[in-house]
Amino acid sequence: MASKKGKTICIFSAKGGVGKTILTTNLAGICEKLKRKTLIIDLDLTGGGLSVALNRFNQRTIYHLVDDLSNNRRKDYLEYVTKYDDYIDILASPRDPRQGNKIDAFFIDNIIEQASYLYDVVLIDMSHVLNDINLVTLDKVDKILFLMTNDPLELKNMKSIMSIFRDLNIDKYKVILNNSRDTNKNYFSLFDIKNIIKANIDYTISPKFHIKKIDSYIMNGQIVTLHPRCESIFAKDYLTMSTMMIDILGEGLVARK
Ligand SMILES: Nc1ncnc2c1ncn2[C@@H]1O[C@H](COP(=O)(O)OP(=O)(O)OP(=O)(O)O)[C@@H](O)[C@H]1O
Ligand SMILES: [Mg+2]
């Protein structure tokens, strides 16, 4: 387990369905390649199912952790997480969305803080809604990865969120343009996008990372970046995602032996 406080990173967007969950799992795969113990927290509390997507099931979820915290009977944190493999654990969202709705934002800070003492990296998958839970998360984490696609409606939403971020003095974000979800969407040039959102685009995932067999990966609970041939087949985008993580985790980071 982590010897010093790990980095907490959330994956957010202005619109649903832009590829946050897929990116979260792929970044977890990159962290594993860097030999970093990683916890994925599924904070998409009513529509998540990340542990189900990765074919991992556990009786305990974040709902039980919050319930036990609020009743002063929390067990070891690790009793609430689901193991994916030797490097990746998941704090699953509730299977029943009604339980998701009962989770009080008050506990989120504590849940993220505790995780940062146990893991090198904490990746938080979110919904795109600006509710209390997401606002606490955006405030708490070390870094926000703001994922977007080249979509007119989304760019309009993103513009408003960027201005909210400016009002709240939030500048700890990186913007990622995801061109891998829909390969034929190119309404706006990079220059236009930057002008609309009034922010820089820090990383771009290219159309080459569009995975035709994404459904079979999901059916098999596989993480694309952990596929033995991912690094060679998707060299450019693999490098982009690795660079992203290395930038966030700290300069000069080298893979642990
Ligand atoms: N690299 C990719 N290649 C092919 N399809 C992709 C890729 N990334 C995302 N998708 C497709 O986009 C869909 C939405 O992705 P994902 O569920 O990760 O988005 P999301 O932002 O988490 O959505 P939500 O807001 O609903 O949680 C997926 O079902 C998948 O089919
Ligand atoms: Mg999702």
Candidates 11, 20, 22: which one to mutate for ligand 1, based on the most atoms within 8 Å of Cβ? 22
- What's residue 256's pLDDT? 55
User: Which residue among 27, 45, 214, 216 is best mutated to probe the pocket of ligand 1, counting the most ligand atoms within 8 A of its Cβ?
Assistant: 214
Tokens of 149: 């696609």
The torsion of the CA quartet 161, 41, 7, 68, rounded to 10 degrees, works out to 110
Pick the residue whose CA is nearest to atom 28 on ligand 1.
19
pLDDT value, residue 252: 52
Side-chain-side CA neighbours of residue 251 (13 Å):
0
pLDDT at site 57: 82
d(CA 224, CA 202) in angstroms, rounded, equals 22
CA of 20 to the centre of ligand 1 (A): 7
Q: Which of 207, 90, 101, 197 is nearest to 154 (CA)?
A: 197
Domains and CATH numbers, the chain: 7-249 (3.40.50.300)
Residues with pLDDT less than 50, the chain: 257
Q: Distance, CA 127 to ligand 2 centroid (Å)? A: 6
- Specify the pLDDT at position 85: 96
Dihedrals phi, psi of 181, to nearest 5 degrees? -75, -55
